[in-house]
Chain A
Amino acid sequence: MSKKELGLALLLIVIGGITAALNPLFLSGVNLLNMANLIGLFGVFSIGQGLIIITGGIDLSVGSMFALLGVIFIDLLVNYELAWPLALLVVLVMGLVMGLLHGLLVTRLKLQPFVVTLCGLLIYRGIARYYTNDGTMGFGYAGNLDTLTWLAAGRSFGVPHPFIILMVVAVAMWVLLHRSVFGRYLYAVGRNEEAARHSGINTNAVIAGAYLIGGGLAGLSTVLLVFYTSSVSPSSFGNFYELYAIAAAVLGGCSLRGGEGSILGIVLGTVLLQILQNLVNILGIPSSLNFAVMGSVILLGVIADQQLGRRKQAKALNRSQAVAVPAE
């Protein structure tokens, strides 16, 4: 655990402790499991976002991808009555294809990731609304989806499946990022793409790979989110979710300049965001203050982190100077 993750974990414990002291129901099993479910839902695509941010990129299109893939998924299941494994496959593959498309536009045409994915945000949302004629898609009149519903939204031994899926994804991505050559390359490309290329890394393939994984995880998240809400209104579904993902990644230690971040940090960042939303309801704080509470706590946390980091740096600098001087 790095210092940054330790600090975030500490912040989580402090906030959790204060909330639990004010209302012990915060730690009730029901509430913790509800929260685990939401952490699973938001964590999966935050990890994808984190990988992209580590390469120095960004993905603004995930929220719109949820809307587009969501309406297609429901349409396939309800109106085309496709077998669910096929529909699931279609959505996952479409997510991968969209991610790959972003990656190719960024690497081959040298477009800025911000622009590419901003256009994705606009285009996918527009297509989703056109596709449904601005109507809400839902499972209201459909049946026979019990297996898939159980897989995506059920519980095993009381633990919500989205949370289990997040754990599996997190472990897989942890191995990929922290224990594989590809992971090393991701950091290298994010720190200095030019240098990485000159040292023989196929930087285009590495960056495109990050977008590909991000797209695939967004596809997976779509399925989980659709089964959480059971309906998708194309104009609002997933709105701003990319910002939750970016916030989780940055809180977890990813630098928007690239080259920094960890899977554990991103997961902890997601946990913090979900706890902040939960405590607004559990403590009965007016809903209107929801975003303000989230913003304030994040800001305070980041300021504290920055100040502590600076002091430590200064101390380290002093020490090295103190060592350096007598040596001369």
Chain B
Amino acid sequence: MIPLSWYLYLAAGLFALGLFGAVARKNAVAILMSVELMLNAVNINIVAFWRYLAPAEIGGQIFAIMVFAVAAAEVAVGLALFISIYNSRKTIAADEINLMKW
């Protein structure tokens, strides 16, 4: 059987990739996609831990389902905000949305 640690390394790699994307990307949609990668890493972690440590309890499964259900809601709100800002500013590049600073 594949050891638990392999899943954790995969999740850690995916999380680091997502975090890098969220910090380095300028396009708001790309940032949201990177956040999705981070959440997928979280889900791999949760499901692996559930399968290896506590398969008799459903807590881990519920947690994983909640994570992607809420992520979908967050993305829906995010895209609505992006459309609203694109209508007025004709850009969704995060570094050009800078009316307010300091």
A and B bind: no
A interface residue numbers (CB < 8 A to B): none
